[in-house]
Amino acid sequence: MRPAPTILHLDMDAFYASAEQAAKPSLRGKAVVVGGLGPRGVVATASYEARLLGVHSAMPTAQARRLAPNAAYLVPRFSLYRAVSEQVMELLGRLSPLVEPLSLDEAFVDLEAGGVADDTVSARRTGERLRTAIREVTGLSGSVGLAGSKMLAKIASEQAKPDGLALIVPGTERELLAPMSVRTLPGVGPATGDHLRRAGMTTVHDLAEAGEAELVRLVGKAHGHGLYRMALGLDDRPVVAERDAKSVSVEDTFDVDLHDRVRVRAEVERLAVRCVERLRSADRSGRTVVLKVRRYDFSTLTRSETLRGPTDDPTVVREAAARLLEAVDTTGGVRLLGVGVTGLADYTQEDLFAQAADARELAARAEEEEEADRPAVDEAGPVEEEPERESAEQLAARRWPAGHDVRHAVHGHGWVQGSGVGRVTVRFEEPGGPVGRVVTFRIDDPELSPADPMPLVRDPVDYSSWPASLPKSRSGPVPAAGGESRP
């Protein structure tokens, strides 16, 4: 525990949904839900307007539609979210060399290591100015928590939501934590929380009063010891700048179970290529290829193959994933497919060509064996199974995802409001502009094409001198230590 609140936790507010509202003037102040839109889709993020209607992340999209039928339902645009996240992380990196990203929209920062804060007043001032900088650069809001430990800084940022700052003064931790639910503490999920409730412990105060020995008896030595320390407000975990990823993976859930083997293999190969793209963007390579298959009955199978050395060759990964698929029975139908790479290493070119050659040789050998085992056919040739065909609705949804960017030769930049029955409806508007008009086109209109997202802020404030020359905060006067401020 630190004697000053110099650990900062930033959590962007309803990040995906807020980014969509900032990009689309017609959605500002309205309920927005971002996630999978098919029958099996899940909510990734809901705007605060949608949350008031009961929608929350991880909820099935079908349930969200019942609660908020008039909300805007959009497919995620990760290229936009990553671009905004990079802007935010760059600002954090200017504050301190010790920045620990937890996700695209969340990170810890050690302000003391950056020399920008050493007491309550300077920490609060830095937090307020960070929030101002984020809004001016990205157009979005973030909530900031400040405390003497990571655990408390995260709790403070939750208290500050939305669009606020909360600071926990060192020495007040136990008093603050005492009335909170045990679920507030890191590592206490639904199962552990229910187990503690049955033992009569529902608040952090109850855990502290129970004592370490009782908690060890209830949840085990390792967890019980840590739980007791957290109940006392003790957390010595440092902010770690480098968090090595253990794997890179991608997966897709299909609206309708896939039965055609050719289609399943094509999807696996497509996922393998996407996985390698992510691997390369992180300048990494991996040694083990993993295939994940969730079948029609929700049973999930994983298969893996370890290569001779790390690779980021798409041919190697694609063919390894295809070989793994051969060992999986998909006759009943497939609802989810995933391809991942584990055993990550720094980017290396060593032995890639040999691995590619090995993969091709194995594939050729398997094809020869399959040809030898294939029964003879008449001169008319074999009768091929008719592959599954996507409906017009599915084709439109795949080509024109709701919420994604488009450009029209006449009308300019816009975004897809919806598609179906051979039509796509587009609203033509840009970030920072007025609410745009809506036009409907045929899905094969030659003048309409997909486009890249536009920046949320056209001319952001220059923060290249951050933090040596910080602009004055626009959030109003700085309140006394221990309080909470919102604009």
Tell me how far apart the alpha carbons of residues 156 and 14 are, in angstroms, rounded to a whole number: 17
In order of 1, 101, 111, 326, 427, the CA distances from 383 in angstroms are 72, 54, 68, 21, 47
Tell me how far apart the alpha carbons of residues 75 and 81 are, in angstroms, rounded to a whole number: 12
CA angle 154, 281, 104 (to 5 degrees): 20
In order of 4, 60, 223, 275, 434, the CA distances from 154 in angstroms are 16, 27, 20, 31, 37
Instruction: Evaluate whether 22 touches 33 at the Cβ level (below 8 Å).
Output: no
Tell me how far apart the alpha carbons of residues 2 and 258 are, in angstroms, rounded to a whole number: 55
Task: Give the contacts of 65 (CB within 8 A, at least 6 positions apart).
Answer: 71, 73
The tokens for 336 are 């989810």
User: Which residues sit opposite 16 in a β-bridge?
Assistant: none
Peptide bond into 69 cis (omega under 30): no
Sign of the Cα pseudo-torsion (132, 133, 135, 141, in order): negative
Instruction: Evaluate whether 162 touches 13 at the Cβ level (below 8 Å).
Output: yes
Instruction: Evaluate whether 4 touches 126 at the Cβ level (below 8 Å).
Output: no
Which helix (H) or strand (E) segment holds residue 247: the answer is strand 247-258
Q: Which of 359, 321, 363 is nearest to 340 (CA)?
A: 321
Please classify residue 372 by burial: count the beta carbons closer than 10 Å to its beta carbon, then call 0-12 exposed, 13-18 middle and 19+ buried: exposed
User: Which residues sit opposite 338 in a β-bridge?
Assistant: 251, 292
Which residues are annotated as catalytic?
Answer: 106
Tokens 């963007």 sit on residue: 281
Instruction: Evaluate whether 139 touches 128 at the Cβ level (below 8 Å).
Output: no
Tell me how far apart the alpha carbons of residues 311 and 370 are, in angstroms, rounded to a whole number: 28
* Residue 77, amino acid: R
